[in-house]
């Protein structure tokens, strides 16, 4: 047994986080995200039954964000056709980031779905959750201790 490890982090995900180096990225995808196809050249970790926000909180409790980039947290933005759709999960993501990074919500940036997919295909790992909130997909860039 280990102390201070959030119980929602599986041994597989802990191994991935430990293997990642400075600048590597990890995607946390919602239930609608094409996680398996995005991870074809990387590592897919299934976290069924977990919310993206809970997983982000657990990951960031262990993993520092990259201090050498302006926006080490990228959130998938809405498609124009969903302009009126509310995405309260974005505020939750920003609040979680603010718990662990002195830049607060300023460490978060929004990117288009198309750009998000390009970056996700290059990520070290992709985590599939069963988050049902819309546009609840993020990319975290690992920093140094």
What would the pLDDT profile of 14-59 be if each residue is shown by its tens digit? 999 999 999 999 999 999 999 999 999 999 999 999 999 999 999 9
pLDDT recorded at residue 2: 82
pLDDT recorded at residue 128: 98
pTM of the predicted model as reported, rounded to 2 decimal places: 0.97
pLDDT recorded at residue 43: 98
Instruction: State percent of the chain over pLDDT 90.
Output: 98
pLDDT recorded at residue 113: 97
pLDDT recorded at residue 4: 93
Q: How many secondary structure helices (H) and strands (E) does the chain include?
A: 5, 6
| CB-CB contact of 130 with 12 (8 Å) | no
Distance CA 43, CA 90 (A): 25
Active-site annotation, residues: 22, 66, 117
**Is residue 1's pLDDT more than 80?**
no
pLDDT recorded at residue 145: 87
């Amino acid at each position: 047994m280990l102390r201070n490890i959030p119980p929602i982090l599986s041994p597989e995900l802990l191994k991935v986080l430990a293997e990642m180096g400075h600048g590597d990225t990890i995607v946390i995808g919602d239930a609608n995200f094409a996680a398996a196809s995005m991870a074809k050249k990387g590592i897919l970790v299934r976290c069924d039954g977990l919310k993206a926000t809970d997983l982000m909180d657990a990951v960031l409790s262990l993993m520092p964000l990259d201090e050498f980039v302006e926006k080490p947290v990228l959130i998938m933005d809405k498609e124009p056709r969903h302009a009126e759709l509310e995405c309260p999960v974005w505020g939750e993501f920003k609040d979680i980031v603010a718990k662990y990074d002195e830049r607060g919500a300023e460490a978060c940036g929004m990117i288009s779905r198309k750009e998000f997919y390009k970056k996700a295909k290059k990520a070290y790992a992709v985590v599939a959750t069963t988050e049902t909130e819309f546009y609840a997909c993020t990319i975290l860039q690992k920093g140094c201790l």
